[in-house]
Chain A
Amino acid sequence: MLKQTEGSRAVAEAVALCRPQVICAYPITPQTHIVEGLGEMVKAGELVNCEFINVESEFAAMSVAIGASAAGARTYTATSSQGLLFMAEAVYNAAGLGLPIVMTIGNRAIGAPINIWNDHSDSMSMRDAGWIQLYAETNQEALDLHIQAFRLAEELSCPVMVCMDGFILTHAYERVDVPTQDQVDAFLPPYEPRQVLDPADPVSIGALVGPEAFTEVRYLAHHKQLRALGLIPQLAAAFNKEFGRNSGGLIRCYRTEDAETIVVALGSLNGTVQEVVDEMRARGVLIGSVSICSFRPFPLAASREALKHAKRVIVLEKCLAVGLGGIVSDGVRKSLSGIVLNGYTVIAGLGGRAITRASLTRLFEDAGRDELEEVTFLDLNADLVSHELERESKSRRTGPTAEAILRQIGTVASGIG
């Protein structure tokens, strides 16, 4: 059914259609509307046979999810930013135990400085936790990915994060097509756990493993992700057959066939990138873009296939590996091993800074002339940075950096554009 609704609400409805049995909720902006929506559905009796648990922290949220999943219940939670970091130990544990929990990340920056707006620092910090990570381009895709995520998680017995850009998607009202219960039931069978805490068949889960077998256990976790590389496209195809929409998959290419310049990005940013690609194509520039949906497992082969004929690749990242540069770029470069081309890492949109078409157009034109640095910070205010560096060089007790910078630019409340 088509409806005009908020991204968070669309996700809440999708999760409800997946018949979750235990939902743990802890508030953190910008994912909060999702669990609020689900809590309301449970309270109103619209979502039945579901325990909605208000926990005392994100660490508890993931821990309750671990217990519920290990006891055989289909389990869901959502978080963002600091919340994901606070649950980090349990995030790794859920994957290590092989529990098919589905979690939405309403992507948001990590402090300090504290910042509630969107970038990918949070989910990227958990990229090696053993979870599958899928990034949604639109609210429709966010909705669809959740339905695929439960099936993917349960087939592999591996937890899945569905990452959607905070505010840009979570708070945006858009038209979405919400499937029927029958459609979702046909796609997603009931949860059949591989391991379950059952008095009739007692098992010990979470034993101490020493050097004699730890490598093998970790290899099997890696192997599971490699199997996901095959399963993710299969599920996307099956989803298309059932629901008539292209959602998910490993990567999606946009006008890349003859492209000399290819832009790689994750999530909602692809919408803006594709508009700029269209504008530049109209001017005869051979440019295209690739949207990476599955960041874990990283689709090395698909990325190579999509990018191998390009002259240059620009990886647009909403995250920063401090002291190195890009995070997504690492995977992209690995996928292009042995292929000679110009590669650029562009750090953009940190802490919610708007990524405008004008900025992207300038950026892609600079790249087209190969006039980009290897690592570029899009729209970096160099004057502001120089001023602060100079100030810091002049005295010892210069005070907190972030506050000094804010003083320098003056009062521009919420000037995120």
Chain B
Amino acid sequence: MIKFYQTGTFTVGNRLLKEDQRSVQADMHRTNSLNSGHRACQGCGEALGARYAIDAAMQATGNQLIAVNATGCLEVFSTPYPETSWQIPWIHSLFGNAAAVASGVAAAQRVLGHTSTRVIAQGGDGGTTDIGFGCLSGMFERNDDVLYICYDNEAYMNTGVQRSSATPPAARTATTPAVGPSPGNVFGTGKNVPRIAMAHRIPYVATASVSNLRDLERKVKYAMGIHGARYIHIFVPCPLGWGSVSEDTIKLARLVVETGLFPLFEAQDGELTASTPIRHKVPVTEYLKLQKRYAHLFRNPPDLERIARIQAMADRNIDEYGLLQ
């Protein structure tokens, strides 16, 4: 771990770093596996997340990579027939089966003796935490040689922003509208898939955010260096669905980490092994108020009770993962 006197981060930029410390994205020879020209919205966090993750995985595997994609934004915006942004072998089958298709691809690699070819499955939060959850759990349980990446933008964005089991409390979606006495999504629901993945005791589980590029790339590269079922859950803001300014995508991805709402951690064989400390704890309001999906919390008078409940969730994460030590 290198330290920089001003912030302790990599913010000095790549030119001052040694080559092996530079990000994959800064590499002239990065593969651009998800190439430009696709149809993602301006400021799409998922497009960034996928490019970061797949380029890192390509570097880690010597470009011997096959990707399986669930139905969703990433699939639709990357492959409008007859065009494709994918520079790697890529298959889309259905919404709910990416993990199982990837298991099949991995089985074929084994049986065909393609020992160096590695397999990634990827999907949004709907395709992962909801409709694809059975196949995902099956892939985990069998310890199939697949890295599954969930790009979590906290709702079904491709179909027009409906609630998923990854939608946070109070968030407005098309199916949890900001009307009635408690507008937005209810509290006390939802699914923590990274923790559920850990409960399968698979070799590696990690969370990442598109704001923390090197952390994200390091986790993907680590995951591609080992075998068995692996899971990385990447936080990817969605300007369209969240009602945020497209230039705030990275800012939101950073704030969600620094509030404690989305802890960055790693786990091996079901045990938590590392978490990324928060440098300066930020109140959740700083994160929430940038997003129209939470606008109802900040009316006059503001919904202090529910803001406090969201703050309590962040504080609980900070305690649970030791983020302020």
Contacts and interface: CB of A to CB of B under 8 A. Distances in A.
Interface string B86-111: 11111111101100111111111111
Interface in A61-85: 63-73, 75
A73 B66 contact: no
A51 B103 CA distance: 11
Nearest 10 pairs of A and B residues by beta carbon: A67-B104, A71-B108, A63-B100, A56-B138, A206-B92, A63-B97, A68-B104, A67-B101, A73-B108, A64-B104
18 contacts: A22-B108, A24-B104, A53-B142, A55-B138, A59-B135, A60-B138, A63-B94, A63-B100, A64-B101, A65-B104, A66-B104, A67-B102, A67-B105, A72-B112, A199-B63, A205-B90, A205-B91, A208-B81
Interface stretch (A89-97, A103-111, A268-276, A352-360): A89-97
Interface residues of A, number: 43
For A54, A55, A67, which residue has the most chain B Cβ atoms within 10 angstroms?
A: A67
Contacts of A69: 104, 108
Contacts of A75: 104
Interface of B: 63-66, 68-69, 75-76, 79-82, 84, 86-94, 96-97, 100-112, 117, 134-135, 137-138, 141-142
Contacts of A97: 93
Contacts of A413: none
B104 A202 contact: no
A21 B111 contact: yes
A1 to B, nearest CB: 27
A53 B91 CA distance: 20
B83 to A, nearest CB: 8
A50 interface: yes
Interface string A224-260: 0000000000000000000000000000000000000
Given A22-B111, A90-B93, A206-B93, A199 B64 contact: yes
Contacts of B81: 207-210, 213
Interface string A1-34: 0000000000000000000011010000000000
Contacts of A64: 100-101, 103-104, 107
Contacts of B142: 53-55
B138 A202 contact: no
A66 B86 contact: no
A71 B112 contact: yes
B138 to A, nearest CB: 4
A203 interface: yes
Nearest to B117: A199
A204 B86 contact: yes
A57 interface: yes
Q: Which interface residue of A71, A201, A205, A206 has the most chain B CB atoms within 10 A?
A: A71
Given A53-B103, A202-B87, A59 B96 contact: yes
A182 interface: no
Contacts of A205: 90-92
B145 to A, nearest CB: 11
A70 B76 CA distance: 20
Given A63-B100, A70-B105, A204 B93 contact: no
A207 B105 CA distance: 18
A89 B94 contact: yes
Contacts of A199: 63-66, 88-89, 117
A24 B100 CA distance: 11
Nearest to A92: B94
Given A90-B93, A204-B86, A207-B82, A60 B134 contact: yes
A49 interface: yes
A69 B112 CA distance: 12
Given A51-B110, A51-B111, A210-B80, 6 more contacts: A55-B100, A63-B103, A70-B91, A197-B89, A199-B65, A206-B69
A305 interface: no
Contacts of B76: 208
Contacts of A93: 93-94
Contacts of B65: 199
With most chain B CB atoms within 10 A of its CB, the pick from A75, A198, A202, A204 is: A204
B89 A68 contact: no
A51 B106 CA distance: 10
Given A57-B138, A60-B97, A66-B101, A206 B107 contact: no
A56 B141 contact: yes
A59 B66 contact: no
B135 A60 contact: yes
A203 B82 CA distance: 12
A65 B103 CA distance: 9
B135 A63 contact: yes
Given A207-B80, A209-B81, A56 B135 contact: yes
A203 B96 CA distance: 22
A72 B66 CA distance: 13
A160 B249 CA distance: 47
B57 to A, nearest CB: 12
B91 A206 contact: yes
B105 A204 contact: no
